Structure 1
């Protein structure tokens, strides 16, 4: 009988120790989660906009009308661009307005981007500092925006989640 009592006491002590360790792990995970959230907030506040932010007026353009347009900037040497291009194409198929895509680089290196985006958008080949880049304040890739009919940026960012959700519509 004393062996059984001793076994029950040992199991009880092990359960209490396990419970204390579990509480410690949970507390540590919460602290790490808060630290990670704080770091992300600081990082996003420190990062400059990749293009004009929502509410900004688009600069003057003489050859292209971007009013009411979905605009995307992509570069052939950019891994995030390769990941987001299918999302942009899918979004563009549901967008009811004009779609403009900008491929950054030379004609040869952007040929694949031009071919893929040409199915859903009017595609321009430019470099940073050229008219569309300057008018929309694009400083990196990928960059996406929706421009209102009044030439004011409605939404912009480097991820498709920065744009408003669309309901499916026939083009």
Structure 2
């Protein structure tokens, strides 16, 4: 009989320990960042040669922007606040954008997140790019480019087709001096 009692005690102790570990895992999962807007997790970004879907949005200056307004060679970068690779890429993106022919009108920076989260990125990118902040809901530009991870950088031809699709600036055409 004492073996049965001992087995029950051991089983109950292991069950309680398992329950405590489960609560710890649940707490850690709740601390994870939200998935990208539009539920695009796992979908690849557009490949070279793909046509960008039509989109219509408004930049942070209140000016409307449509896909067909992006000029030949336009550079489009996607960033998300709190993303360490995004933070590392922004200075390089700004330096590259300063040399893009057509200036600010040929560079688009899309920041996903709430406006208060994006404020620092907007301040850094606005001098060299048109900036669009898209909330976690209704991310039309992110959806048009099928962005699933951040950062992401594209270069377009004059017809809205992808010339370069990259998570960095390594494959973009070098701006003319």
TM-score by length of 2: 0.63
Give the C-alpha shift of residue 106 in structure 1. Answer: 0.3
> Which of 146, 159, 169 is the matching residue for 2:168?
159
Shift of 1:76: 1.1
Question: How is 1:1-171 mapped onto 2 (pairs within 5 angstroms)?
Answer: 49=44, 51-62=45-56, 63-64=65-66, 65-68=69-72, 69-97=74-102, 98-127=106-135, 130-168=139-177
Residue 163 of structure 1 deviates from its aligned partner by 1.5
Q: Is the contact between residue 43 and residue 146 of structure 2 (CA under 8 Å) also seen in structure 1?
A: no
Q: Secondary structure at the match of 1:88?
A: helix
How far 1:134 moved relative to its partner?
1.0
Q: Helix, strand or coil: the match of 1:103? A: strand
Give the secondary-structure state (helix, strand or coil) at the position aligned to 1:109: helix
Is this contact kept in 1: 2:43–2:148, CA < 8 A? no
Residue by residue over 1:30-84, the C-alpha shift from the partner in whole angstroms, topping out at 9 and shown as x without a partner, is: xxxxxxxxxxxxxxxxx964x2111000001234233432100111110001111
**Equivalences, count:** 121
Structure of higher CA gyration radius: 1
Conserved? CA contact 1:127–1:133, under 8 Å: no
The structure carrying a bigger helix percent of its residues is: 1
Q: Secondary structure of the equivalent of 1:110?
A: helix
State whether residues 153 and 165 of structure 2, in contact with CA within 8 Å, keep that contact through their aligned partners in structure 1. yes
For residues 119-142 of structure 1, the C-alpha deviation after alignment (integer angstroms, 9 at most, x for no partner) is: 100100014651100111111110
Q: Which runs of 5+ in 2 are unaligned?
A: 1-41, 57-64
